[in-house]
Amino acid sequence: SQQGEEDPQALSIQEGENATMNCSYKTSINNLQWYRQNSGRGLVHLILIRSNEREKHSGRLRVTLDTSKKSSSLLITASRAADTASYFCATQGAQKLVFGQGTRLTINP
C-alpha cells in the first residue's frame, strides 16, 4: 500500500505561530496532494506537488517533497483561528488517491 502516514496526529498552537505537518508514504507516486477538512464537512483541495518538484507555495502554504525519503511536509505560516481543521495528505500513483489518517490542527486565539 502507498498509504500516507501523518505526523503528528494532533497539533495545537497559538494563533500567529507556524504549523508543520509531515506525511510519509511507501511506494512511488505521481503526485502528492494536501486537503483540508473542517469538522463534519467534505475535503477541500489545498495544493498538489508533482513527483519531480521539491517545493511549492500557495499563499501561506508551503509544501515540500522528498521522494528519496518518501516524505512531504506542509507548513502553514502565520496561523489563524480559521485554519483549525484536519489536514490530509493523499498520494496518487497510477490511478487512485490514497489518503493518510490526517493531522488535527487546532489554532488557539
Binding site for another protein (CB under 8 A): 3, 30-31, 33, 35, 40-45, 48, 86, 88, 92, 96-102, 104
Q: Are 51 and 65 in contact (CB under 8 A)?
A: yes
Give ∠ CA 92-98-102 in degrees, rounded to 5.
120
- Shortest Å distance, C-beta 92 to another protein: 6
Q: Considering the complex, state which of residue 19 and residue 46 has its C-beta at the smaller distance from another protein.
A: 46
In the complex, the smallest distance separating the C-beta of residue 74 from another protein, rounded to whole angstroms, is 16
- Per DSSP bridges, beta strands 43-50 and 31-37 are antiparallel
Whole-number minimum distance, CB 7 to another protein, in Å? 13
**Cβ proximity to another protein, 9 vs 18, nearer residue:** 9
**Within a 13 Å sphere around the CA of 98, how many CA atoms are in the beta-carbon half?**
19
Q: Closest CB to another protein among 83 and 102?
A: 102
Distance CA 44, CA 41 (A): 9
